[in-house]
Amino acid sequence: MEFHDGSRELQDRFDTRRIADRIDDVLVKDTIDDRSAAFIARRDMFFLATADAQGRPTCSYKGGDPGFVRVVDERTVAFPNYDGNGMYLSAGNLLVNPHVGMLFIDLVRGSRLRLDGVARIDEDDELAADYPQAQFVVRVTVDRLYPNCPRYIHRYEQVERSAFVPRAGTPTPVPDWKRQSWAADALPADDTARRTGE
């Protein structure tokens, strides 16, 4: 990991340069080990950080069933892009700035993992068949992967999985916001919310 001048300035101000370098030497990897792969495979959500061409950031919550983020090999993960609000802020950023940060958190056990890499969108990816209703698949090549200090993670209990996650053989419900008058006439022509009775 290359620390930029801003990181180094604060590390020196708070006397953390030594531990930062040690963490980099010991914990930061550029490949996905078996333990990290298993951790990713158990997750049903992650946070995706992207930035546009001017460096303006956005952060998105991405959810699915456990295993929706696939570890393809030791340098690659893949995940589906499902129907959202149609703004394509995160996905659009990938077309102009492919650098991403992915934060995986186990809110029940209190652990987390960071993955930084370079993403690409593939509308014809062979994995698309594994993701019902996916618009496309995003593949991320790992630059660095490292565990993150868990001490400030609040513990949560999972109540239920989202009914809106697309699943094979199960109709996906229409979100309420698509039924509101301000949205109805602006939805894509093939959106299920436009169908009679939806």
> What is the per-residue pLDDT across 21-56, written as a single tens digit (0 to 9) for each?
999 999 999 999 999 999 999 999 999 999 999 999
Q: What is the distance between the alpha carbons of residues 67 and 59, in angstroms, rounded to a whole number?
A: 21
Q: What confidence tens digit (pLDDT) does each residue in 62-120 have? A: 999 999 999 999 999 999 999 999 999 999 999 999 999 999 999 999 999 999 999 99
Instruction: Report the phi/psi class of residue 183: left, alpha or beta, with left for phi > 0 and alpha for psi in -120 to 50.
Output: alpha
pLDDT in tens, 130-183: 999 999 999 999 999 999 988 999 989 888 889 899 999 888 898 898 888 898
Query: Is the confidence at residue 195, as pLDDT, over 80?
Result: no
Q: Where in the chain is the domain with CATH 2.30.110.10?
A: 31-160
**Region of residue 90 (phi > 0: left; psi between -120 and 50: alpha; otherwise: beta):** alpha
Specify the DSSP class assigned to residue 30: S
Axis-axis angle for helices 5-13, 17-26 (nearest 10): 120
Is the pLDDT at 197 greater than 70? The verdict is no
How far are the Cα atoms of 16, 24, 28, 99, 148 from residue 9, in angstroms, in the given order? 10, 17, 21, 24, 21
Range 31-160: architecture per CATH:
Roll (2.30)
Q: 3-state class of 10 per DSSP?
A: helix
Beta strand residue intervals within the chain, DSSP E = 45-51, 57-63, 70-73, 76-81, 99-106, 111-122, 136-148
pLDDT at 77: 99
Total-model pTM: 0.91
What integer best gives the mean pLDDT of the chain? 94
Task: Summarize pLDDT for 144-159 with one digit per residue, the tens.
Answer: 999 998 899 998 988 8
Quick one: tokens of 195? 């169908």
Of 196 and 170, more confident: 170
- Nearest to residue 61, comparing CAs of 89, 36, 37? 89
DSSP per residue, 46-95: EEEEEE-TT--EEEEEEE-STT-SEEEETTEEEEEE---SS--HHHHHHH
SS3 144: strand
